[in-house]
Amino acid sequence: MPKIPARNRCRSGPLKEVSLMNVTIKSPEEQARMRIAGRLAADVLDMIGQYVEPGVSTEKLDQLCHDFIVNEQQVVPACLNYRGFPKSICTSVNHVVCHGIPNAKTLKNGDIINIDVTVIHEGFHGDTSRMYFVGKPPVIAERLSKASFDGMWRGIEAIKPGATLGDIGHAVQAFVEAQRFSVVREYCGHGIGRVFHEDPQVLHYGKPGTGVELVPGMAITVEPMVNAGRRHVKLLSDGWTVVTKDHSLSAQWEHTVLITETGFEVLTLGSADRDA
């Protein structure tokens, strides 16, 4: 396997031991900045939804998001030129698991697409992704997207001071596999703040009570990639695009989450959920 510059590839083999010494704890001021970054990232996904329709290219979606981030929000698209990634968003269509590069190919009725957006506001990152349906999706696609969404929330709801990363992973895995889908293991969530991808790694599978203990002030992403078929994936020759080995559909949802004194705060809720 070649070295992968992808944004959140989990380390192959046994994971290194990560202690709280390696994890950044955000001050109240830093948390406030992350709230703004998270809201801005969510606003991009709110904006782009109306443009996801048959006949549009993922390159056009990238252009629309880039212009909105740079000109309207006046912040930085974190993906652009990150370790050589050539676009401002990731667009992962159908059997693409993650890190799809926007291009001239147009979407067609029945496609599903994950759009992954990260912005930088005053030095802090907000990272989030959603699934969108192009026209009328197949029933299996709807079920898969819902399993990824609900699995993400099962993981988020396991977050509280004193819980562990293993609690998050187990909650996601147990739910998704009960729906007869599979969880991708090569790619994972991560710590986030001033650095795009920092410790700890947030696996979407695991055993309760294992791994780093969660403490207030930590910020992480929960972003399970869920396949309709087997969990195995492969990296394409562009060095970024990850697809399912069996060509089955894949879905992903992602939120940036802050651990609080009493539980958790989701920083990347869309406007509809913020107002609910």
Residue boundaries of the structural domains of the chain: 27-267
Q: What pLDDT is recorded for position 13?
A: 35
Digit-by-digit pLDDT tens for the chain (276 residues) are 233 344 455 533 334 444 566 899 999 999 999 999 999 999 999 999 999 999 999 999 999 999 999 999 999 999 999 999 999 999 999 999 999 999 999 999 999 999 999 999 999 999 999 999 999 999 999 999 999 999 999 999 999 999 999 999 999 999 999 999 999 999 999 999 999 999 999 999 999 999 999 999 999 999 999 999 999 999 999 999 999 999 999 999 999 999 999 999 999 999 999 876
Q: Tell me the per-residue pLDDT of 210-242, one tens digit each, with 9 for 90 and over.
A: 999 999 999 999 999 999 999 999 999 999 999
Q: Tell me the per-residue pLDDT of 154-195, one tens digit each, with 9 for 90 and over.
A: 999 999 999 999 999 999 999 999 999 999 999 999 999 999
The structural architecture, per CATH, of the domain 27-267 is: Alpha-Beta Complex (3.90)
* Cα–Cα distance, 272 to 148 (Å, whole number): 19
* Cα–Cα distance, 127 to 119 (Å, whole number): 7
User: Which candidate, 89, 257, 24, 226, places its Cα nearest to that of 160?
Assistant: 257
Q: Three-class SS of residue 190?
A: strand
Q: Please tell me whether the peptide bond between 200 and the residue prior to it is cis, using omega within 30 degrees of 0.
A: yes
